[in-house]
Structure 1
Amino acid sequence: MVLFRKLSLVLATLMVVACASDPTSREPANLTDFDAEKKLKEAWSFSLGDGQAEAFHRLTPVIDGDEIFVASSNGKMAALNKSSGKAIWKKSLDLRISGGIGVSGTMLFVGTSDGEVVGLDRLTGGIIWTTPVNSEVLSAPQSDGDVVVAQTYSGEVHGFSATDGKELWRYTSQLPRLTLRGTSTPKIVSGVVMVGFANGRVVAFDIENGAVRWEQRVAVPKGSTEIERLVDVDGRLLVMEDGQTVIATGYQGQVMAIDIGSGRPLWAKETSSYVGATSALGNIYVVAADGSVNALDGNGQGARWTQTVLARRELTEPVAFEGAIGVGDFEGYLHMLAQVDGRLLARTRVDSDGLRAPMTADGDLLYVYGNSGELVAYKLKDR
């Protein structure tokens, strides 16, 4: 990896702190006392490998059916019952996993730091095929059952046969000299796969042949320095319930609603974010680069509320759960905010090594994967 072309998350974090909205403070906000209205109760936990390790990955567990699949950077994988946390199988593979996990049908998919996309048997975790690519894969490969799509850190998108890993098509984007460490996870909707790029664009492809359907710019480079001109679209794309609209977030750019069929922007709001958004109660919830949590009107008509008490705490992508919005921070605390007004409802510490990966809500359980490899399922209860 050429260091002058790529920016590690450590340096990115320092830059994010330097760009915080409060020019008098560069330190993460101290945690404040509050009257907790809810409590987070652990339902079960499971420890796996070394988690995210020190490579600043965002390995994210994935749920399909009654199972939740999880992977660690040092090649350990497991399938668990999502309700009980009981292991269905565990596997230790000779892989340095950096992007994962995708799931479709009877297959699982991961990407590696060594530049590989790997297809595995869902029932056992055994490797079925391995296909090399030109650089590490930092987000989970995604599949519609026939085609697997993966983005590399070098800005390429590949389409592979889900059956044997044979490359079907490839797209190469033009990368800036400097980017944040991370890539967008491909999002598949009705034969179209959408991908965010480090050049500030979202591009939609025909999943069968890689033909470009449309592209839309979410962030425009500004300023005189390479850092000022960072415009990565690294956060996960959010497809709304109508299946026709996707929400994209850009660093030093905008939160934008895009029509999936045409690529036409429906609305946009200036907000810098390097993580994805979530939706609930007709709102779009966005964590800004300065650490503020924002509730935007789902029609783009303005902001409902902004909570700044967690400023500069390197927050995760938000998750909607049981009338609350959950975010994790660099010290491993999980914070729950009220969806209606952003007030703090509950807090617990999950992992002293911190939280980085997006969380997953399913039914009455919230799944949180700590940096050290601890996967914890929580329920949110009244006090």
Structure 2
Amino acid sequence: MQCLRIAALGALSLLAACSTPSNVPDPSPLPKVSQAATAKQVWRSEVGSDTDFRFQPAFLADLVAVVGGKNEVALLDRATGQAKWRVKLEQPVAGGIGIGAGMVVVGSLKGDVIALDLANGKPVWTIKTSSEVISSPIVNKNLVLVRSADGKLSALSAAKGELQWVYQRPQQPALQLRNYAAPVVADGIVYVGQAAGRLTALAAADGRVLWEAPIALPRGASELERITDIVAPPVVHADLVCAVAYQGRVACISTQNGSLVWSREISSWSGLAIDERHVYVTDDQGQINAFERTTGRSVWKQDALKYRFVSAPAVLGNQLVVGDLDGYLHYMNLEDGSLVGQQPTDGSRIFVAPQSAGSQALVQTRKGSLYLLSAQ
């Protein structure tokens, strides 16, 4: 599949198999951090070789599901990192992994969605969608939500993989970025970021559109300038859902009626995180920004990591953590954004945000190293 070549740092990072252009600014040097506030490494596991896709592991209680290499799927013990089972599929996995309802679920470049038994990794069902699946399937109660590259969101029954409903916006822009963003489900509502800067809320039960809100509006004379896609998952906290668009803005929307609460101009392809006080955004230059959650007031900006292809942030304990192109984890103070720690991994890029759950986080590198970290 031909990849869209855009002469911008963030956009190029979105596209699998695109080479780095010569006009991208040099990465900032690795900052020197005087303090040593990092997370404890609980274990490290090797889950597969180099890949161009953005695989993110998934937690479920005392289990960790992970995709490695081109076609390897594994279920690990959360306490030890030891594999309960590993399987090799007959086709390459492209869409990350979901876990729940007694199974793990992956998607492929051919549009297949494959459900494996949680107990032994044996196939439960396989169903073909309309096009390649490049975002993680989401398992929510009795549904498996799958986003395909043609913009369709399909809801499948967890029991048999039968199609329950399909949603697709009626109008799609001519030029789009490859979208790795999985939908997010909270309180029976599915939130999905779209091309052209739209955020849509759907009823999980039947796919009915509850509301749609503009996060960013296309601007500029050319099609490239008018790209304002939401290519990172939205985040939800209390009565707010927040999303960020490339060449657009970050906005927080009321979950009740889709009305705009606040917005700020910013461009991001990496994504964002949220907690009780702040919304944290990695912009397309690799700067990390913090905004007050309820008002959007700018709280701080950390610019020491510019052009280091910084991942979306994650909250881990009382710190914020991001990964970079050299496999370093950088820890920041939540209050003022100061760098308080730095931690190497295996030297390869960390594409996606650490997957945090309580006081622990999972980090997967491009070379296939998987780390479980615990806040100290």
Q: TM-score normalized by structure 1?
A: 0.89
Give the Cα separation in 2 of the matches to 1:40 and 1:170.
41
SS of 1:45's equivalent in the other structure is: strand
Deviation at 1:81, TM superposition (A): 1.7
- Would the aligned equivalents of 2:10 and 2:269 in 1 still touch at CA under 8 Å? no
Deviation at 1:127, TM superposition (A): 1.5
Which residues in structure 2 correspond to 1:159-308 (within 5 Å)?
Answer: 159-173=155-169, 174-240=171-237, 242=238, 244-280=239-275, 282-308=277-303
- Would the aligned equivalents of 1:12 and 1:180 in 2 still touch at CA under 8 Å? no
Equivalent residue in structure 2 for 1:152, among 148, 173, 193: 148
- Segments of 4+ in structure 1 off by > 4 A? 14-17
Deviation at 1:11, TM superposition (A): 6.0
Which residues in structure 2 correspond to 1:332-347 (within 5 Å)?
Answer: 332-347=327-342
1:323 maps to amino acid: N
Q: Which residue of 1 aligns with 2:106?
A: 110
Give the Cα separation in 1 of the matches to 2:107 and 2:89.
13
Give the Cα separation in 2 of the matches to 1:72 and 1:30.
30
Give the Cα separation in 2 of the matches to 1:217 and 1:108.
33
- Would the aligned equivalents of 1:291 and 1:313 in 2 still touch at CA under 8 Å? yes
How many residues get paired? 366
**Cα distance 1:205–1:96, how it changes in 2: closer, same or farther (>3 A)?**
same
**Cα distance 1:286–1:27, how it changes in 2: closer, same or farther (>3 A)?**
same
Farther-moved stretch of structure 1 (37-46 vs 257-266) = 37-46
Give the Cα separation in 2 of the matches to 1:28 and 1:303.
25
- Would the aligned equivalents of 2:36 and 2:342 in 1 still touch at CA under 8 Å? no
**Cα distance 1:13–1:72, how it changes in 2: closer, same or farther (>3 A)?**
farther
Identity %: 30
Q: Which residue of 1 aligns with 2:17?
A: none
1:332 maps to amino acid: G
- Would the aligned equivalents of 1:16 and 1:289 in 2 still touch at CA under 8 Å? no
**Cα distance 1:196–1:128, how it changes in 2: closer, same or farther (>3 A)?**
same
Q: Which residue of 1 aligns with 2:18?
A: none
Give the Cα separation in 2 of the matches to 1:32 and 1:307.
11
- Would the aligned equivalents of 1:335 and 1:348 in 2 still touch at CA under 8 Å? yes
2:84 maps to amino acid: I
Which sections of structure 2, spanning at least 5 residues, go unmatched?
14-22
Q: Which residue of 1 aligns with 2:28?
A: 29
2:155 maps to amino acid: G
1:159 maps to amino acid: A
Give the Cα separation in 1 of the matches to 2:69 and 2:241.
30
SS of 1:277's equivalent in the other structure is: strand
Equivalent residue in structure 1 for 2:121, among 108, 121, 125: 125
SS of 1:342's equivalent in the other structure is: coil
Is residue 305 of structure 2 the alignment partner of residue 310 of structure 1? yes
SS of 1:199's equivalent in the other structure is: helix
SS of 1:143's equivalent in the other structure is: strand
Q: Which residue of 2 aligns with 1:139?
A: 135
Q: Which residue of 2 aligns with 1:21?
A: none
- Would the aligned equivalents of 2:264 and 2:296 in 1 still touch at CA under 8 Å? no
How big is each residue's C-alpha offset from its partner over 1:89-122, in whole Å with a ceiling of 9 and x where there is no partner?
A: 2222223111121122212221111111222212
Q: CA RMSD in A?
A: 2.1
Q: TM-score normalized by structure 2?
A: 0.91
SS of 1:330's equivalent in the other structure is: coil
1:195 maps to amino acid: V
1:34 maps to amino acid: V
- Would the aligned equivalents of 1:129 and 1:165 in 2 still touch at CA under 8 Å? yes
- Would the aligned equivalents of 1:80 and 1:86 in 2 still touch at CA under 8 Å? yes
Farther-moved stretch of structure 1 (278-287 vs 211-220) = 278-287
How big is each residue's C-alpha offset from its partner over 1:139-186, in whole Å with a ceiling of 9 and x where there is no partner?
A: 111132222211111111111121111212222233323222223211
Give the Cα separation in 2 of the matches to 1:48 and 1:15.
28
